[in-house]
Amino acid sequence: MKLYFDHSSEPSRAVYLFLKYNNIDFEPVMLDLWTGENKTPEYEKINPFQLVPVIDDDGFILTESVAILRYLATKFNAADHWFPKDVQKQARVDEFLNWYHTNIRKDGLALLFYKFLTKMPVAHLPQIPENEEQLKTLRANLAKSVKFVDEYFLKGKPFIAGDEISAADLLGYCELLNQELIDDDTYLSNANVNAWMKRVASKLEGYLEENLAVLEKYKALYAQVSQKSE
């Protein structure tokens, strides 16, 4: 099985970590999104959406991180806590996974792209002008999503579905982790969400090193270009 991915892609990171954590054998195929390696005609034949992650399981091509995680959990009989058999716990996981695409992911990506693309050009993406009002709006949108994670999805529970980590926690964690690239403290300033992020990280201890190393590289790059633009 091949995994086409980039460590800087939040959903890619989630699938990669799931494979590693569950000792599922796979061949990693790195694509550099920042230089547009996902935009080549060769990759378009594999995934016409030209996004990551994608798995190729002996000719079975599957896109979209949630679908991939469900497929892997089922095929390789992963521990129940990832996608619980308990109908109410599974409903909580599904609820978050349906919500997060147009909330925590959309808002997080919007702020990340704004902060990067006002500082530096990225291959196939245009550099954009800084706009203080737009920045305030983007931060407010992300803060609202983080508040929903705190007050609705967690509600005093250690994890979204209860006492154990699930696919919802994995994808949510990977999404918010990217805010550290741009030194944004939106989730860090929310004590409950910050504590949840640390709990998820502790569950993934021993599997995060490669991801964190790539994030540190981009964080250093962002700091460098930010200093030049001041």
Q: Are residues 196 and 95 in the same domain?
A: yes
Among 75, 109, 126, the domain boundary falls at: 75
| Mean pLDDT value across the chain | 92
Strands 2-5 and 60-63, sheet pairing: unpaired
Based on the domain organization, do 64 and 8 belong to the same domain?
yes
Query: CA 223, 150, 82 angle in degrees (round to 5)?
Result: 90
Q: In the chain, what percentage of residues exceed pLDDT 90?
A: 73
Over residues 102-111, mean pLDDT: 94
Q: Does 230 score more than 60 pLDDT?
A: no
Looking at residue 192, its pLDDT comes to 96
Q: Which of 20, 54, 75 is the last residue of a domain?
A: 75
Domain housing 65:
2-75
Say what the pLDDT of residue 178 is: 85
Find the mean pLDDT for residues 36-54. 96
The CATH number of residue 127's host domain is 1.20.1050.10
Lowest mean pLDDT among 45-54, 74-83, 182-191, 205-214: 182-191
Residues 101 and 197 in one domain: yes
At residue 186, the pLDDT reads: 82
If one counts the domains in the chain, the total is 2
Question: pLDDT category, 121, cuts 50, 70, 90?
Answer: low
pLDDT in tens, 58-85: 999 999 999 999 999 999 999 999 999 9
Co-location of 179 and 133 in the same domain: yes
The confidence band for 220, taking pLDDT boundaries of 50, 70 and 90, is confident
Residue 101 lies in a domain: yes
Q: Is residue 30 part of a domain?
A: yes
**Average pLDDT estimate for 212-225:** 81
Q: pTM of the predicted model, to two decimals? A: 0.93
